[in-house]
Amino acid sequence: MRVEYIPIGAGILLVLVGLAFIWDAWGPQMVGPMRDRRRRRRAEISLSGELLAGAGIALLGVALIGRDWRLETATVLVGTICIIAGTLKNRKYFRELFLFRGAARRTLPKDVAKSDKMRIR
């Protein structure tokens, strides 16, 4: 295998990942649990943001595959803008994903019975 084929393989992989994102945004939406046990509603993913991010990833893959062509710089710029726009449309979801880690409390502290046993987490 020649070294020149590595960017082409990476580009094909990126195009496939981008198409998976696009298919997930356009495909049938799965119904979540009927009753969520959390106090706070979960943030929902913006489908248009997911579509933009998938298109941006696919465009970056196309830029890797088609090396040394006229529109490579424009493809990379448009792909980057699409990824940033998709991320901004999903910022509430990412904020919840990265900042609200840990178990969701399902009971109020006053409703928990005190015991003599030490609880280790």
> Using one digit for the tens of pLDDT, what is the confidence trace for 8-60?
999 999 999 999 999 999 988 776 656 656 666 777 888 999 999 999 999 99
Give the length of the chain.
121
For the whole model, what pTM was predicted? 0.73
